[in-house]
Amino acid sequence: MAAEVTEVTCPADNMFSLISTYFTFADGADNAFYAWVNMLGVDPDPTPGGTGIEVTVSMSDSATVVAAAVATAIDANINFGCTSSGAVATITNAAEGGATDAADGDMGVTINVTVQGSAGGGGSTSTPPSALELFSSSIIQGN
């Protein structure tokens, strides 16, 4: 079992280039989310599907500032923890489980899934041996 961990390398803004841009990701229950940039306070939500998380940045912000804004916005959602270092925002799902990998919409981010999310049921997921396999094993062992 594992919670998905995703590194998102953010771009700098270049004269309002990030207005209404977004990237997508999912929580441990594979619910769809997207982070989108609202620079002017009135930018249209791109609504690609899922729950939107609004990220506020300013014109010509550096990649480090954009990543910090992404981290602050995503970390405020109970389904995720998010930190930033330099231009990289690291999203950690709060719950273990399979999740659709993050993807760039049109923001120009680079995605790197460092831990693939997976669900677990506590125990083996292998198929139990058939009666014939048990019988054959018993004969080979002399039982």
How far is Cα 61 from Cα 18, in angstroms, rounded to an integer? Answer: 10
Q: In this predicted structure, what is the pLDDT of residue 1?
A: 83
Report the DSSP beta bridge partners of residue 55.
37
As a whole number of angstroms, the distance between CA 108 and CA 70 comes to 13
Tally the domains of the chain: 1
Q: Taking 60 as the threshold, does the pLDDT of residue 134 lie above it?
A: no
The domain containing residue 106 runs over which residues?
5-140
Question: Is the confidence at residue 121, as pLDDT, over 50?
Answer: no
Instruction: Determine contact, residues 28/96, Cβ cutoff 8 Å.
Output: yes
Q: Are 102 and 113 in contact (CB under 8 A)?
A: yes
Angstrom distance (rounded) from CA 56 to CA 6: 21
| 7-52 pLDDT tens trace | 999 999 999 999 999 999 999 999 999 999 999 899 999 999 999 9
Which tokens in the block code for residue 70? 């992404």
Region class of 69: left (phi > 0), else alpha (psi between -120 and 50), else beta = alpha
Hey, what are 71's tokens?
């981290």
pTM above 0.75, yes or no: yes
